Structure 1
Amino acid sequence: MVATNSVELADEPLRPPGHSIGLLALPRWRFLLQLLVKKELRVRYRGSALGMLWSYVKPAVQLLVYYIAMGRFLRLGDSIPSYVVYLFSGMVMINFFNEILSNTTRSIIFNAPLVGKIYLPRELFPVSSVWVAFVHVVPQIVVLIIGALVFGWRPGIYSLLGGVLALLIICAFALGIGLAFAAFNVFFRDAENLIELLMMVAIWLSPVFYQWHMVADAFPPWLFTIYQLNPLAMAVELSHYCFWMPTRGVLVDGADAASLMPPHWVLGVALSSLIALVTLGLGQLIFHRLEGKFAQEL
């Protein structure tokens, strides 16, 4: 038995202490990942009377405030049919992006006792934060679907696939940024402040309150092209494609939903997806380079 174990250990590739093979190691640690997700949810709602209901209350209040300010006071609802669905379908994606960023950036600091005492792939902590964010976005999607149905939502298969792709783009893009800033945050607490600034402007970097053609009319074509390459902006457009465009009164005279999308939007989605994946790869690389010093810094 000892000899067998020695052979098995000899077959394992040697790695520097404190390093793993990154996100590829997570399937072997999926049970521990589930435990971390449950722990985060319990800690977040400990002592809370409403518990998971806050996942409904907070976005509902946010939607109400923005709808009154943007839809009524600024009269944006007059030019955009089904403006509530348009607004909320974008806000759901922004909320998902912001929660992933916030959770992942703080994930290593919040789990400092575990990082300092035992070895496990450090990527477990940011990825568990992504799962927690997904748990919170599901109730918002349910509310969005109910609201869209009230406005006559009749999606097709391509619309639904667009919604799924929007979530995947945001997951990859936000996790990539979150991995890098989770590592930076161990050494420099300023990382949290930078992320808060990014979260503050994220909703304005994508067509949540406005439509894409307003950007095209205000900026030169080359700047609009850069705007379209923003994964967050294209994810919001895909969310509109899924939830807003199939509602009653948006498409007139039998027009196709693609006619309301930005020019060359299929290429834009492909390129922004690629950018999101590259961001994920760079974030993993930065995290991997710095994770060996986490324990001694914490």
Structure 2
Amino acid sequence: CCVVAYVAALSDPDFDSPGKSRGLFDVFRHRYLLSLLLRKGVATRYYGSVLGWAWSYVRPAAQFLMYYLVIGVVLGANRGMDYFPVYLFAGIITVNLFSEALRNATNAITDNGSLVKKIYLPRELFPVAAVGVAFIHFLPQAAVLLVVCLFLGWTITWMQVAALLVGLIVVLVFALGLGLFFGAINVAYRDARNVVDLILMFATWASPVLYSWEMVHKLMPTWLFNLFMVNPMTTAVELFHNVFWLPLAPDSARPEHLLLNAGIGLVLALLTLLIGQFTFRKMEGNFAQHL
């Protein structure tokens, strides 16, 4: 009887052998664990801090003031662009979301090494939760931008809602893909986190945050400019500009083929996610011995 029950259990399609993983699909099957990791990440983010969640506003505000004074006032970008502060802040919060999500995901496995070594659970939960925590901390910054835009007379349409969602998806998917890739490598080679820091150092300058896409168009050959425009972060930043800034400055030039570029950027982000997931699954079997 016991043997029959054992054989029946093995043949059950819902039966999983220990350690077997379906990758990111397992994250959806462990939503409760994901919610616990999200709560932990949010609760411990500012643990012991006097200002607490206020830091979610202070850091982007300090960035904005620094870039606005240097790029906008000293270098004169403010004089050549309507509503330059809105343009600048929309780009800053987009890049901040990407930067925090990628940095968190890269360190997610090593930061949770004790859990990874002691119990089995889908390891992808950790980088996914890290990206989720970054998104939660992005929301106060987005709320500030939204309030400012509403005060300036901004109105929203369904097309803008769709553009905003696509922009968010591109950023989060791209960051998760890179985070899975570098997070897996970081377990064995801690140099990966330094490589990520270098990438993030250039992230603000490699996207049209502090300058307009028109400036790039004038300086780059056509083929290089086209590559620049389909970069996932460029498409995400331009989608955010399209949502928040362009309605306030309707006479400003709109990038050509924005929808096509956004589609290509999304495909590239998804391809990055596939590569990151493949690398993560190839290396996760050795996580415990490296931690």
Query: Structure 2 CA distance, aligned partners of 1:232 and 1:89?
Result: 13
Query: Structure 1 CA distance, aligned partners of 2:177 and 2:27?
Result: 16
Question: What's the CA shift for 1:44?
Answer: 1.9
Q: Aligned partner of 1:286: which letter?
A: T
1:18–1:291 Cα contact (<8 Å) kept: no
1:5–1:230 CA distance, 2 compared to 1 (3 A): same
Aligned positions of 1:185-200 closer than 5 A = 185-200=186-201
TM-score by length of 2: 0.95
Aligned positions of 1:109-188 closer than 5 A = 109-188=110-189
Of residues 154-163 and 82-91 in structure 1, the stretch that sits farther from structure 2 once superposed is 154-163
1:47–1:103 CA distance, 2 compared to 1 (3 A): same
Question: What's the CA shift for 1:181?
Answer: 0.4
Matching of residue 282 in structure 1 with residue 283 in structure 2: no
Query: Structure 2 CA distance, aligned partners of 1:16 and 1:285?
Result: 20
Query: Structure 2 CA distance, aligned partners of 1:46 and 1:127?
Result: 21
1:57 aligned partner: 58
Q: Aligned partner of 2:262: which letter?
A: V
Matching of residue 293 in structure 1 with residue 286 in structure 2: yes
Question: What's the CA shift for 1:261?
Answer: 2.5
1:140–1:16 CA distance, 2 compared to 1 (3 A): same
Question: What's the CA shift for 1:38?
Answer: 1.2
Query: Structure 2 CA distance, aligned partners of 1:197 and 1:15?
Result: 40
RMSD over aligned CA atoms reads: 1.8
Question: What's the CA shift for 1:77?
Answer: 0.8
Aligned positions of 1:98-109 closer than 5 A = 98-109=99-110
Q: Aligned partner of 2:99: which letter?
A: N
1:85–1:295 CA distance, 2 compared to 1 (3 A): same
1:17–1:187 CA distance, 2 compared to 1 (3 A): farther
2:250 aligned partner: 251
Q: Aligned partner of 1:281: which letter?
A: L
1:16–1:260 CA distance, 2 compared to 1 (3 A): farther
Query: Structure 1 CA distance, aligned partners of 2:69 and 2:60?
Result: 14
Question: What's the CA shift for 1:113?
Answer: 0.2
1:260 aligned counterpart, secondary structure: coil
Aligned positions of 1:1-150 closer than 5 A = 4=5, 6-12=7-13, 18-150=19-151
Question: What's the CA shift for 1:263?
Answer: 1.9
Among all aligned residue pairs of Structure 1 and Structure 2, give the percentage whose two residues are the same amino acid. 44
1:17–1:292 Cα contact (<8 Å) kept: no
1:289–1:14 CA distance, 2 compared to 1 (3 A): farther
1:185–1:191 Cα contact (<8 Å) kept: yes
Query: Structure 1 CA distance, aligned partners of 2:18 and 2:9?
Result: 19
2:64–2:89 Cα contact (<8 Å) kept: yes
1:237–1:261 Cα contact (<8 Å) kept: no
Of residues 121-130 and 5-14 in structure 1, the stretch that sits farther from structure 2 once superposed is 5-14
Unaligned regions of 5+ residues in structure 2, if any?
Answer: none
1:4–1:148 CA distance, 2 compared to 1 (3 A): farther
1:256 aligned partner: none
Query: Structure 1 CA distance, aligned partners of 2:288 and 2:14?
Result: 22
2:155 aligned counterpart, secondary structure: coil
1:265 to 252, 258, 283: 258
Query: Structure 2 CA distance, aligned partners of 1:237 and 1:167?
Result: 12
Question: What's the CA shift for 1:155?
Answer: 2.1
1:115–1:82 CA distance, 2 compared to 1 (3 A): same
1:126–1:178 Cα contact (<8 Å) kept: yes
Runs of 4+ with >3 A deviation = 1-6, 12-19
1:184 aligned counterpart, secondary structure: helix
2:9–2:15 Cα contact (<8 Å) kept: no
Query: Structure 1 CA distance, aligned partners of 2:114 and 2:229?
Result: 42
